[in-house]
Amino acid sequence: MKKNFIFIFSCLLFIFSVTACKNNSEIQNSNTSNGDELTNKTRIKKEKELLLVSFTILEDIVRNIVGDEFKVESITKPGMEVHGYQVTPSDLVRGSKAIIFIQNGFGFELWADKFVSNLNVEKITIANNLEPMFISEDIYKGKPNPHAWISPKRGILYVDILLEELSNLDPENREKFKKNAQSFKNKIQKIDEDFSLFLNTLPKSKRYLVSCEGAFSYLTNDYGLKEAYLWPVNAESQITPKRMAKVINLVNEKQIPAVFCESTVNSESQESVAKETGAFFGGNLYVDSLSKKNGPAESYLEMLEYNLGIIKNGFNASLKN
Ligand SMILES: [Zn+2]
């Protein structure tokens, strides 16, 4: 008797869930009957869709464009070194759920080609639509410098490129993405203008940006600064006596007031340069990765503002002395 009761109860439960499912799909169908059926199906499906990106800065830029239309996740986490990242099994699992993988390119993600080759996923590469600047040193000579996002002016190009790609991916949201992108670009432009105004106040002979990684070529090029660094790319973040001596000589010769390093590497070598030359150590800039939660650069805009603030303070502090 008891068994029978359980059987009948289970059947009722089954019928109820089928009906509930049917009702649910009817609700969805009744929505579609009011509009474009394909559009609504896309929306229902898209709630589960994942845009996977290679690093946190790109994650933030993409999220600013798509809003809550997609899930956006980065393979590398805030604060991580990106160039030589080692892909984990859980990255592959996430990759298998993504509808697209978005990367910077220009050889930035040394691991990305292999990662994508293991997956059945479409790829967007920003660098395919950007003019490269080339590295002029060591084994990287002639290779494109990947760090274009560091310059606010190029950041605006990133937004334009991604807007086009993401609108092609999801044409029904083209207008929404366009609006989001425009408001985001306005904020980047404000930072761009502030930085240009500041640089105009610096004596021309002092307009040098000395960093750990040669990651600032786009920024220095776009804002009329000269660039010097301890090593060309973080994947090779070893300081040799020759490189160190070269930077020390330059700082002494040009009386460069301040030197900087970056958040994902050890700043000891650059602090030694500062000690040796009497230049002001201005602190660590964010380059390849956003800061961890509650850090000073949790978003792309914060990162640009923070970097430009550190550069301003470095110069202001040292020029007062
Ligand atoms: Zn880098």
Could you tell me the distance, in angstroms and rounded to a whole number, from the CA of residue 301 to the centre of ligand 1? 18
Q: Do 45-134+144-192 and 194-320 fold alike per CATH?
A: yes
Whether the per-residue pLDDT at 12 is higher than 80: the answer is no
H helix and E strand count, the chain:
11, 8
CB atoms within 10 A of CB 62: 24
- Residue 281, classed as helix, strand or coil, is strand
* Pairing mode, strands 71-74 and 50-53: parallel
Residues 41 and 48: beta-carbon distance below 8 Å = no
- DSSP annotation string for 144-165: BP--GGGSHHHHHHHHHHHHHH
Q: Where exactly are the structural domains of the chain?
A: 45-134+144-192, 194-320
CATH architecture of the domain 45-134+144-192 equals 3-Layer(aba) Sandwich (3.40)
**Phi then psi for 173, rounded to 5 degrees?**
-105, 15
Q: How far is the CA of 32 from the centre of ligand 1 (A)?
A: 47
Give 263 Cα–ligand 1 centroid separation in angstroms.
10
Does residue 90 carry a pLDDT above 60? Answer: yes
Q: What is the pTM of this model?
A: 0.82
Using the mean position of ligand 1's atoms as its centre, give its distance from the Cα of residue 211 in Å. Answer: 11
pLDDT tens for residues 296-308?
A: 999 999 999 999 9
Q: Which fold has domain 194-320?
A: Rossmann fold (3.40.50)
Q: How far apart are CA 91 and CA 80, in angstroms?
A: 15
Distance 262 CA to ligand 1 centre (A): 9
pLDDT tens sequence across 253-280: 999 999 999 988 889 999 999 999 999 9
Give the whole-angstrom CA distance, residue 286 versus residue 296: 9
Say how many Å lie between the CA of residue 174 and the centre of ligand 1.
Answer: 32
Comparing 3-7, 163-167, 169-173, 222-226, the range with the smallest average pLDDT is 3-7
**Two tokens at 259?**
């030197």
Q: What pLDDT, on the 0 to 100 scale, is given for residue 35?
A: 42
- Cα distance between residue 10 and residue 234, in whole Å: 61
Q: Of 237 and 175, which is predicted with more confidence?
A: 175
Distance separating the N- and C-terminal Cα atoms of the chain = 94
What confidence tier does 140 reach under pLDDT thresholds 50, 70, 90? Answer: confident
